[in-house]
Amino acid sequence: MATALHLESSRAIPVKVEAAFDHLLPHPLTELMSRRYGPLPPIREVRDQAGTWGEVGQTRTIVLTDGGTMREQLTEVVRPHHFAYRLTDITGPLRPLVSGVEGRWAFAPVGTGVLVTWSWVLHPTSGYAARVLPLVGRLWRGYARQALEETSDVLVAGAVSPG
């Protein structure tokens, strides 16, 4: 079996840990992943979501601007420390390379705010795909940096301040 690739990106944000967690978990993905990074497209819309995102077991379909889709299932919610999800049923350009993704957003106190860490574990479809995934990983790191910038802007603008 091909080896999975672990990716991680973090950003310190001057807001309370609990407030960051509570604000980010239900926040619309289209506002956090709204910019293209090279060939990695932004999220166009989220479909099939029942209610506010935040309950373990919930599912939804993420639609990318390139037409690709993926099914997201929330697998763990441990307030205010982290929440995790699984991406399956991937279509579009990633389909030949990735059979699934385990994602996680973690929140830890740092200085006067929170360190927000977004991580992905990509499961390759084959040995060949595993050899190509490091390139996808380099692109993902840029995409994640942009998403964490958006996350910071959303949290700070939401007046979710430390104290």
Residue 121 is encoded by which pair of tokens?
Answer: 């574990």
- A 10 A CB-CB count for 71 gives 16
Q: What's the pLDDT tens digit per position in 112-146?
A: 999 999 999 999 999 999 999 999 999 999 999 99
Task: Write out the E strands in 95-144.
Answer: 98-110, 113-124
- Express each pLDDT in 76-106 by its tens digit: 999 999 999 999 999 998 999 999 999 999 9
Report pLDDT digits (tens) over 52-65.
999 999 999 999 99
The per-residue pLDDT for 38 is 87
Establish if 28 belongs to a structural domain.
yes
- Would you state the pLDDT for residue 159? 54
Residue type, 19: A
Q: Residue 39 has what pLDDT?
A: 86
- Asked, for residue 47, whether it belongs to a domain, the answer is yes
Buried b (16+ CB within 10 A) or exposed e, 28-50: ebeebbeeebeebbbbbeeeeee
What does the alpha-carbon distance between residue 135 and residue 93 come to, in Å, rounded to a whole number? Answer: 14
Q: Domain range spanning residue 96?
A: 5-157
Place of tokens 């957003």: 105
Instruction: Report yes or no on 83 lying in a domain.
Output: yes
pLDDT for the residue 149: 96
Domain count, the chain: 1
Q: Tell me if 163 is assigned to some domain.
A: no
Instruction: Tell me if 48 is assigned to some domain.
Output: yes
Assessment of whether the complete model's pTM goes beyond 0.85: yes
Query: How far is the first Cα of the chain from the last one, in angstroms, to the nearest whole number?
Result: 48
At residue 1 the predicted structure's pLDDT band, cuts being 50, 70 and 90, is low
**pLDDT per position as a tens digit, 6-60:** 999 999 999 999 999 999 999 999 999 999 998 889 999 999 999 999 999 999 9
Structural domain includes residue 162: no
Identity of residue 63: V
* CATH number, domain with residue 89: 3.30.530.20
- Amino acid sitting at position 33: M
